[in-house]
Amino acid sequence: MGKPQRTAAVKFDDIPGKLPQGKVLEDTDRTNVAQTAVDRLNNLQLDDLHDDAIWRDLLSFTGTYRTFYSQKTVFATLQKLSKEKQRSRFVLEGSEPRIGRTVDGTSWLDIDVLCSTSEDGLVGECKGVVSVVLCEDGEWRVWMLRTWLESFEGHGHPDVLEPAMAVSNGAGDETADTHTNGASGGSAMRGHGPTTDYDVIVVGGGQAGLSTAGRLKALGIRYILLERRPEIGDVWNTRYESLRWHTSKHYGSLPFGHTYPEEDDYMLPAKRIGACHRAWAEKFGINVQTGTAVESASWDESTASWTVTASSTTGKQTLTARNLVLSIGVGHLTPVLPDWATPSKVSASNFHGTVLHGSQYKSCAPFAGKPGIVVGTANTAHDVAEDMANAGMQPTMIQRGSTFVFPAEWLHRAEDVHYHPSMDPADADKESFTYPNKIMREIINRAVWTGIRRKPDRFDALERAGFKVDRFGDIYDNLYVRFGGHYVDIGASARIAKGEIKVNTKSVRGLTETGLVFEDGSELAADLIVLCTGFDHDFRHDAAEIVGPDVANQMDDFWCVDAEGEVRGHAKFAGHPNLYYHGGDIRMGRFFSRFVALQIQADVLGKPMQRYTD
């Protein structure tokens, strides 16, 4: 058994690290600055680093995800790990140095570099970005270093997998056999032939599970993906009918190129996402067994392997694997209900209408022309309220605290910088997602808050309509600490401002036969009440259903960030041998799957990564 992982949650404001002062002049000799910076990095002196130096490493030196802050800490740690990992010299990758900048004019020079590391004879091919800033004394110094493990020399690449067959773009007109059969009660797209023993079993066929399975196949690792739903894509196909991504389709691709064709909508509807997920699994011959519910997984210390029991319509089966990856969502299985909306209290109220949690909601078409209530004001709540308005209902949103509203067009403009048809999503991820979370938060907040100050009209209109706006909210706090609670505005805000969606901010006392009663005694009638009140986000409760409470209690919590700004329990050693928990949003699911696969590959090669702790 491993040691329990317990990492303290930290507020972003308490994490060190800040943006530098200074600007890159347009006539800067970037080639000369880049070569000088790399030369200094290879013969590093303390003064070559900025006072506020930052280094984020993803596996290449630390065997995990670490961010180091301050000139002295970065200097000492880089020197120490460079020696231990037998680092080669940094060399320029050959691409043109780029100017990174913030909305208020601060800028720095980003320089792409390569190096290798070696541990127990296993050579890691690494990439990185060195960010240098012009200081007041006229010297260029390294402010930020980002390094990550690309692949192990001679053992494939997690971003490269050739299609197993020619298929369509997900519309259902495949141009080749899909290798689908009824094995073990569900469809199976097999790539390794019949077996019950694997290097890896992946549980869950959503974005993270599919991405991980694809990376494992790319690295030649024996794996199987078990999905409880009848088909791949059903995680999206079974959601509410009006659901669409608030982000761009390019941002949400699965690995190995662009998943969604150019003719698809920019913000994809749920069923289209599901269709393309299935087409992607078929295209790359992913070894997936659907219609299979994993019941338990137990670790055998004597054989150093997991035994997984699963059931399907054809009965039970037992599989074994050295590694287990749980991709069952990050706390999306157990709905949270207000006290007044528990089943017993709904029954006692004799409410004549329908009460649903958002996870049960499909459509409000049967309630056209009737009053409806949505409890909550995050993304799903706004979607449902707009759905009600479109169906001719009279919707009212029940709001408790203030809500951060992020205009979708601002988000899309930021995403489109890297996520677009002419750039591979793998390259976009490395360009934009390797930043230390604290630094990217600072960059985004500066841009968003500047936009809010310049264009306050939509937020003013919401407040006039009675909607409580967290005007200068923090998107990183919502994403990584609260895990939601914000709204990426794709249109509902305008409906609220026009009065087509009402807002009520009173405290709810309970249900009556006709609707809600508030603490002040006032009432609000409704035929449909949808509770968009979230889920129990402690994924360990869901994990315990599979691995048992003893193992689940060893795992670190997933959400919130640690003292270095890293998400606590995500895609890393989970406190128990050969167990990983991988989930997150659509980009986290894709990007970090490459690092989960590389950690597993090192173990399969008999040279497990040594995780650096200090």
User: For the segment 387-399, what is each residue's pLDDT rounded down to a tens digit?
Assistant: 999 999 999 999 9
Cα dihedral 378→380→386→390 (10° resolution): 180
pLDDT tops 70 at residue 222:
yes
Confidence band, pLDDT 50/70/90 cuts, at residue 3: low
Q: Give the pLDDT score at 177.
A: 33
pLDDT tops 50 at residue 190:
no
Q: Give the pLDDT score at 88.
A: 98
* pTM of the predicted protein model: 0.93
Contact yes or no for 393/372 (Cβ under 8 A): yes
Q: Give the pLDDT score at 575.
A: 77
Looking at the domain covering 183-332+537-604, what would its CATH class be? alpha beta
- Classify residue 154 as left (phi > 0), alpha (psi -120 to 50) or beta: left
Q: Give the pLDDT score at 432.
A: 92
Domains of the chain by residue range: 12-152, 183-332+537-604, 350-531
Whether the domain at 12-152 and the domain at 350-531 fall into the same CATH topology: no
Confidence band, pLDDT 50/70/90 cuts, at residue 592: very high
Assign 440 to helix, strand or coil: helix
Expressed in angstroms, the distance from the first to the final Cα of the chain is: 22
Q: Which residues pair with 144 in a beta bridge?
A: 54, 131
Looking at domain 350-531, what is its CATH homologous superfamily? FAD/NAD(P)-binding domain (3.50.50.60)
- The model's pLDDT over 83-110, given as tens digits with 9 standing for 90+, comes to 999 999 999 998 899 999 999 889 999 9
Q: Give the pLDDT score at 166.
A: 59
Q: Which of 476-490, 513-527, 561-575 has the highest mean pLDDT?
A: 513-527
Encoding tokens for residue 557? 């919590």
Of 32 and 584, more confident:
32
- Among residues 195, 330, 386, 304, the alpha carbon closest in space to that of 603 is found at 304
The CA distance from 557 to 105, in Å, is 38
Contact yes or no for 233/296 (Cβ under 8 A): no
Looking at the domain covering 12-152, what would its CATH class be? alpha beta
Contact yes or no for 212/286 (Cβ under 8 A): no
- The model's pLDDT over 32-87, given as tens digits with 9 standing for 90+, comes to 999 999 999 999 999 999 999 999 999 999 999 999 999 999 999 999 999 999 99
The total number of residues shown for the chain amounts to 614
Measured CA to CA in angstroms, residue 226 lies from 101, 148, 212, 252, 327 at distances of 44, 29, 12, 22, 10
Q: Give the pLDDT score at 167.
A: 52
Confidence band, pLDDT 50/70/90 cuts, at residue 170: low
Q: Give the pLDDT score at 331.
A: 65
- Among residues 21, 99, 18, the alpha carbon closest in space to that of 54 is found at 18
Worst-scoring range by mean pLDDT, 212-221, 234-243, 280-289, 577-586?
577-586
| Three-state SS sequence of 30-59 | HHHHHHHHHHHHHCCCHHHEEEEEEEEEEC
In single-letter form, the type of residue at position 579 comes to L
Encoding tokens for residue 372? 């409806």
Q: Give the pLDDT score at 584.
A: 76
Assign 69 to helix, strand or coil: strand
Q: Which of 162-166, 538-542, 554-558, 595-599 has the highest mean pLDDT?
A: 595-599
pLDDT tops 60 at residue 435:
yes
Which uninterrupted H or E stretch holds 230?
A: none
